[in-house]
Amino acid sequence: GFTIEAWVKRNTSGDLNGTIFSRGTVGGSGSIVPREGSDDGIVLYVFNNQPGFAMARDTPFPSPVSSSASLTNGSWTHIAVVLANESHTGVHSACGGAEAETPHLDIYINGGFDTCGSIGGSGTYPTAFEYSEQIGRTNLLESIGVQVYYTKLDAIIDEVRFWKVARTQSQIQQCMNQELGGVSGTCMKTDLIGYWMLNEGAGSAIVDSSGYNGNGGVKNYCDSNCAFADATTIPWDGGWTTGYPF
C-alpha cells in the first residue's frame, strides 16, 4: 500500500480543478498514463472543488474515488489518500463492500474518514520515485472521465508526503499538524519516499526531505516579466507562502 498527504488551500471563488500530486509517464497531450512494465500512474486531484484519486492503469480504467467534501475558498484542508492492501471490514462500514476489497482506497479529510472505494484489481504499486512526479500542475485523465487539461491548480499546496506504507487514521492524525522529524519519535521520516515541505522561500528549487533525492524545480520558472509562446503556461513570479497551515 501507500499513503499520499497534502495540505491544500483553495484560492478561488470559482470551481477549483487541477492536480495536487501526480506520478506517471506523460503520454499523449500530457496525460498521466502507465509506464512501460505495467506500473501505475497515480493522480491526486481536485475536480469541481472536491478531492479525488485515481490510478492510471491499462484498460479497463478504474473509476476515480471522489471525496464528498468540498474545499472552502481561503481555508486550509488536509487531504490523505491511503491504498490499503488489507480488508478492514467493520472499520468503515459506511463504505459497504469496498472496505473488504484488497486493494481499495480510503480518503481522509482533516484527519477524519471521508470515503473509500474500489481501485480496480491488482497491480504494481509505486515504492520508489522514477519518473514524472508533479505537484500542482499536470493533465488529468480523460479516459476515466475527469478532464483538467494543462490546468495550474489555483490553490496553495504545502507538506506533500508520499509514504510507501498504508498509514492508519491515528497515524495520519498524529502527524498531520507538524513537520516530520528525523528517524525517531512519533512523526519520523521512516517509510517516506517523498517529502516536499515547500518551505524554500526563494528561487525555483524544490527539495525532497525524505532522503530519496526526489528534488525538483518549478516548471517553466521565470520572473514576472518573461513570456511564453505556449499560451497554456503561466509564468511563476517566484512567490512563496510563508508559515504553515497547522
What is the reported pTM? Answer: 0.84
pLDDT at 148 over 50: no
| pLDDT value for 116 | 85
| pLDDT value for 35 | 43
Distances (CA, A) of 64 to 118, 119, 141, 229: 9, 8, 10, 34
Average pLDDT, the chain: 76
Tell me the C-alpha distance between 220 and 200, whole Å. 17
Q: What is the pLDDT of residues 169-224, one digit of tens each?
A: 999 999 999 999 876 677 888 888 889 999 888 777 889 998 888 888 776 555 55
Kindly give, in sequence order, each residue whose CB lies less than 8 Å from that of residue 180, ignoring residues fewer than 6 positions away: 161, 187, 188, 189, 192, 195, 209
Tell me the C-alpha distance between 200 and 28, whole Å. 32
* 40 phi/psi in degrees, rounded to 5: -105, 135
pLDDT at 4 over 90: yes
| pLDDT value for 37 | 42
b/e map 106-126, b = 16+ CB within 10 Å: bbbbbeebbbbbebbeebebb
Task: Give ∠ CA 158-164-166 in degrees, rounded to 5.
Answer: 90
DSSP SS3 for 99: helix
Q: What percent of the chain has pLDDT over 90?
A: 25
| pLDDT value for 234 | 53
| pLDDT value for 143 | 45
| pLDDT value for 136 | 83
Tell me the C-alpha distance between 4 and 157, whole Å. 13
Q: What is the pLDDT of residues 32-82, one digit of tens each?
A: 444 444 446 778 888 889 999 887 655 445 568 889 899 999 999 999 999
| pLDDT value for 161 | 95
155 close to 241: Cβ distance less than 8 angstroms = no
Mean pLDDT of 152-161: 89
Mean pLDDT of 15-41: 61
Q: What is the pLDDT of residues 91-122, one digit of tens each?
A: 776 676 776 777 788 999 999 999 888 776 55
DSSP SS3 for 182: coil
| pLDDT value for 13 | 92
